């Protein structure tokens, strides 16, 4: 059995629930959907691992158009993304068995959730432009049904409209990129496009169309406007797949078109500089806006923008280094980006599942109404803490490894070209460091406000732990976060097939040169890292601190909490999400443009305050300065066209005559 057989079996398993839905009793639909999605995830993981070991298996399916059958292929790049898709789909399927237990409209999810997974699987194995766009649109349209699942709410309908609009705009841009490649190659197959020769001008046109198309789908700043609205309103199991996998499928499409079809040998230096700048701005801006959110799922959505930015920093560095003929360092940047891709799939999927567990238990996404959930949801809190440490890039978990590799790529990069390129690489490294520090601050806020302290509402005080299915679905990605962080030397050589295929260079010898204990990118004399030793050191220091503070036979004195003389300690005395982020909101006021209002009620005397209300709103500047003006311009043009449609027959004859004259002038 080869990787292609397993990949097609994964697609069939994802398709089956939608086909069998009309024939399945209502009571069995949830179990069938979750079982088949789990099978699809496991088969995709197996296909990915086998494809990385034995890549490049292709076949032609008797589907598609009469003159264009469907070409599918599992190469190293597709195999890696099959592994990414499967590694999160399987635990989300387990999680969904508990999350959807009391969901009456399971039929809608049974159709579109499996089709969403099928679309993502099809994109990564497609080997021609027609198949790619077919599965791409299937992924986009089916996910729209997930975003608008609770369509009775106005915010869901609005989010769905914006999402569908941006998704189709991205599709048109990607289609334009394929059109350029088709014109040069003369066929829709990727093999023909790969062998086509493009002039620097047309190669740049294809690059820009693909970059803006896939960047819109990935949520890159400032093309991210749909993402903070769409992810929070979808069911949490769907949000985990959208943020954890769908955004990475857009990253896959970018790598497929730019690195594979155009080819790394044709990179122009400004391509990498543009990607690096976009990644740096997305990383910092995403985490800055995440810090100001008090809706838990909206905060996580903004952090997806941040982590897509981190992936793009690695890809941008790799593109710059490849353009200036430093293939080994370019391979390191590509490995860093790919490793962060699978890392982000795990910890962001886990964070959205944790947010879904909190929503399931408390009925709220508002962090201001939470608190003390660690006592009532200990397993959820432990898994969420693992994800918080991972996304904050702290050892020994997986987020640290991929960001450390990205830093090493930037630090080892030689002087490139002129002064601007020499400055942009360390500047991007500084932006990555700032994003990491802000992310750690943000998740201190999230975990502290949601799980620690006192309960801020009756719902939080009466919260309960979720069932075994949901707990198991969260435990599996938590284990993956630990394994990917502790054993990078085992996993990174598996990814080595991708730079071998795209850059024709291997990092396996450099990684394995220091044994299984040490990760040494390129050369141990520059830098090395041992996650097991780091964990052992932290455990040793923690144990010594515990022994010092709790000597044998010693008693711990407990006393009442000091509350400035107030005998009653209550939830309003503690920091909330808004107050925690206030110092950073002041520092970055020029970027955030926060709108704050303080209303004080003094009905009796000017010195006697009864109530103070503090409201803060942080809008998105991209929405204010880009999307709203474009929307207004579009509506204005539509009104003019509406008036033109109501013109007399003489006006229509005049337009027809002018069109004929124009065509004669152009084609004669």
- Check whether residue 176 and residue 280 sit in a common domain: no
88 within a domain of the structure (yes/no): yes
655 within a domain of the structure (yes/no): no
Q: What is the pLDDT of residue 511?
A: 65
- Check whether residue 509 and residue 639 sit in a common domain: no
pLDDT interval class at 246 (50, 70, 90): very high
User: With 70 as the cut, is the pLDDT of residue 15 above it?
Assistant: yes
| Domain of residue 631, residue span | 623-650
- What is the tally of helices (H) and strands (E) in the chain? 29, 4
| Least confident segment among 2-16, 54-68, 100-114 | 54-68
Cβ neighbours, 10 Å, residue 49: 18
Higher per-residue pLDDT: 525 or 386: 386
> Tens digit of pLDDT for each residue in 557-574?
777 777 776 667 777 777
Higher per-residue pLDDT: 664 or 611: 664
Q: What is the pLDDT of residue 346?
A: 95
- Check whether residue 377 and residue 442 sit in a common domain: yes
617 within a domain of the structure (yes/no): no
> Tens digit of pLDDT for each residue in 427-444?
899 999 999 999 999 999
Give the SS3 label for residue 90: helix
Residue ranges of alpha helices (H) inside 452-558 are 458-461, 468-486, 488-495, 497-503, 508-512, 531-549
Higher per-residue pLDDT: 557 or 637: 637
371 within a domain of the structure (yes/no): yes
Measured torsion, CA atoms of residues 511, 514, 520, 523, in degrees rounded to the nearest 10: -90
b (16+ CB within 10 A) / e for 536-566: eeeeeeeeeeeeeeeeeeeeeeeeeeeeeee
Measuring CA to CA, which residue among 131, 123, 138, 207 is closest to residue 173? 207
Q: What is the pLDDT of residue 113?
A: 94
Phi-psi region of 565 (alpha: psi -120 to 50; beta: other; left: phi over 0): left
Distances 148 to 41, 160, 628, 661 between C-alpha atoms, Å: 25, 6, 22, 47
% of the chain exceeding 70 in pLDDT: 96
- Check whether residue 324 and residue 386 sit in a common domain: yes
> What integer is the mean pLDDT of 356-376?
89
Higher per-residue pLDDT: 197 or 526: 197
**According to the per-residue pLDDT averaged within each range, which of 123-132, 485-494, 517-526, 632-641 is highest?**
123-132
Higher per-residue pLDDT: 235 or 421: 235
Q: Which residues contact 157 (CB under 8 A, 6 or more apart)?
A: 148, 151
Evaluated on CA atoms 360, 365, 368, 371, the torsion sign reads: positive
Q: What is the pLDDT of residue 514?
A: 63
- Check whether residue 228 and residue 179 sit in a common domain: yes
Give the SS3 label for residue 502: helix
Is there a contact between 101 and 265 (Cβ–Cβ < 8 Å)? no
572 within a domain of the structure (yes/no): no
556 within a domain of the structure (yes/no): no
Q: What is the pTM of this model?
A: 0.91
CA atoms within 13 A on the CB side of 543: 6
> Tens digit of pLDDT for each residue in 430-479?
999 999 999 999 999 999 999 988 888 888 888 889 999 999 999 999 99
- Check whether residue 242 and residue 335 sit in a common domain: no
**According to the per-residue pLDDT averaged within each range, which of 17-26, 147-156, 268-277 is highest?**
268-277
Q: What is the largest CA-CA distance in the chain?
A: 102
Give the SS3 label for residue 597: strand
Cβ neighbours, 10 Å, residue 629: 10
- Check whether residue 340 and residue 362 sit in a common domain: yes
User: With 80 as the cut, is the pLDDT of residue 608 above it?
Assistant: no
pLDDT interval class at 34 (50, 70, 90): very high
Is there a contact between 55 and 18 (Cβ–Cβ < 8 Å)? no
- Check whether residue 239 and residue 97 sit in a common domain: yes
Is there a contact between 446 and 576 (Cβ–Cβ < 8 Å)? no
Q: What is the pLDDT of residue 547?
A: 83
What is the phi/psi pair of residue 348, to 5°? -75, -40
Q: What is the pLDDT of residue 447?
A: 92
- Check whether residue 230 and residue 290 sit in a common domain: no
480 within a domain of the structure (yes/no): yes
Q: What is the pLDDT of residue 512?
A: 60
> Tens digit of pLDDT for each residue in 563-605?
776 667 777 777 777 778 778 788 877 777 777 777 777 777 7
Phi-psi region of 169 (alpha: psi -120 to 50; beta: other; left: phi over 0): alpha
What is the phi/psi pair of residue 453, to 5°? 75, -150
Distances 121 to 42, 88, 115, 252, 433 between C-alpha atoms, Å: 13, 13, 10, 11, 34
Examine the fold and report which residue of 259, 281, 310 is the final residue of a domain before the chain moves on.
259
User: With 90 as the cut, is the pLDDT of residue 146 above it?
Assistant: yes
53 within a domain of the structure (yes/no): yes
For the chain, the average pLDDT equals 87
> Tens digit of pLDDT for each residue in 465-524?
999 999 999 999 999 999 999 989 888 888 989 999 999 888 877 666 566 678 878 766
- Check whether residue 188 and residue 274 sit in a common domain: no
- Check whether residue 247 and residue 144 sit in a common domain: yes
User: With 90 as the cut, is the pLDDT of residue 412 above it?
Assistant: no
When divided into structural domains, the chain yields a total of 3
User: With 70 as the cut, is the pLDDT of residue 213 above it?
Assistant: yes
Measuring CA to CA, which residue among 320, 581, 250, 546 is closest to residue 439? 581
- Check whether residue 235 and residue 276 sit in a common domain: no
Measuring CA to CA, which residue among 469, 350, 357, 381 is closest to residue 93? 469
Give the SS3 label for residue 617: strand
């Amino acid at each position: 059995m080869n990787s292609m057989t397993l990949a097609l079996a994964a697609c069939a398993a994802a398709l089956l629930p939608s086909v069998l839905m009309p024939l399945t009793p209502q009571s069995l639909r949830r179990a069938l959907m979750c079982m088949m999605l789990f099978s699809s995830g496991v088969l995709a993981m197996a296909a990915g691992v086998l494809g990385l070991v034995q890549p490049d298996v292709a076949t032609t399916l008797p589907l598609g158009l009469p003159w264009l059958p469907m070409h599918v292929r599992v190469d190293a790049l597709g195999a890696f993304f099959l592994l990414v898709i499967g590694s999160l789909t399987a635990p989300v399927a387990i999680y969904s068995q508990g999350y959807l237990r009391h969901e009456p409209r399971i039929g809608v999810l049974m159709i579109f959730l499996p089709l969403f997974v099928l679309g993502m699987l099809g994109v990564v194995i497609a080997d021609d432009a027609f198949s790619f766009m077919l599965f791409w649109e299937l992924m986009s349209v089916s996910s729209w049904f997930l975003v608008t699942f609770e369509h009775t709410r106005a915010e869901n309908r609005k989010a769905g409209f914006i999402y569908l609009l941006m998704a189709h705009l991205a599709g048109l841009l990607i289609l334009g990129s394929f059109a350029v490649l088709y014109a040069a190659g003369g066929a829709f197959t990727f093999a023909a496009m790969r062998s086509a020769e493009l002039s620097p001008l047309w190669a740049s046109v294809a690059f820009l169309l693909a970059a803006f198309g896939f960047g819109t789908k990935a949520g890159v700043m400032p093309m991210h406007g749909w993402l903070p609205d769409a992810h929070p309103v979808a069911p949490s199991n769907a949000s985990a797949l959208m943020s954890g996998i769908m955004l990475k499928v857009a990253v896959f499409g970018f790598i497929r078109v730019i690195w594979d079809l155009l080819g790394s040998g044709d990179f122009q230096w400004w391509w990498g500089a543009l990607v690096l700048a976009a990644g740096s701005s997305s990383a910092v801006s995403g985490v800055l806006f995440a810090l100001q959110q008090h809706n838990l799922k909206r905060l996580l959505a903004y952090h997806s923008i941040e982590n897509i930015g981190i992936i793009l920093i690695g890809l941008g560095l790799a593109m710059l280094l490849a353009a200036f003929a430093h293939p080994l360092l370019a391979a390191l940047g590509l490995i860093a980006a790919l490793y962060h891709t699978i890392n982000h799939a795990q910890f962001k999927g886990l964070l959205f599942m944790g947010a879904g567990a909190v929503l399931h238990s408390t009925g709220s996404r508002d962090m201001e109404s939470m608190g003390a959930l660690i006592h009532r949801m200990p397993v959820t809190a432990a898994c969420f803490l693992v994800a918080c440490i991972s996304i904050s890039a702290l050892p020994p978990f997986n987020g640290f490894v991929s960001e450390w590799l990205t830093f090493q790529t930037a630090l080892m990069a030689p002087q490139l070209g002129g002064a601007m390129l020499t400055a942009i690489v360390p500047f991007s490294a500084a932006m990555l460091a700032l994003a990491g520090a802000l992310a750690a601050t943000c998740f201190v806020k999230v975990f502290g406000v949601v799980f620690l302290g006192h309960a801020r509402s009756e719902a939080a005080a009466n919260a309960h732990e979720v069932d075994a299915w949901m707990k198991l679905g969260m435990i599996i990605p938590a284990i993956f976060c630990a394994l990917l962080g502790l054993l990078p030397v085992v996993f990174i050589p598996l990814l080595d097939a991708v730079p071998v295929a795209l850059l024709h260079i291997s990092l396996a010898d450099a990684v394995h040169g220091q044994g299984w204990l040490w990760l040494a990118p390129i050369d141990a004399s520059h830098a090395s890292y041992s996650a097991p030793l780091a964990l052992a050191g932290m455990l040793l220091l923690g144990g010594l601190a515990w022994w010092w503070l709790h000597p044998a036979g010693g008693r711990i004195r407990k006393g009442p909490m000091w509350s400035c003389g107030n005998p009653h300690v209550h939830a309003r005395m503690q920091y909330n999400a808004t107050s925690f982020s206030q110092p950073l909101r002041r520092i970055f006021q020029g970027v955030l443009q926060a709108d704050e209002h303080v209303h004080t009620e003094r009905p009796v005397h000017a010195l006697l305050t009864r109530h103070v209300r503090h409201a803060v709103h942080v809008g998105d500047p991209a929405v204010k300065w880009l999307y709203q003006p474009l929307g207004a311009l579009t509506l204005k043009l539509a009104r003019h066209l509406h008036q033109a449609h109501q013109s007399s027959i003489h006006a229509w004859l005049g337009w027809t005559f002018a069109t004929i004259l124009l065509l004669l002038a152009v084609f004669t």
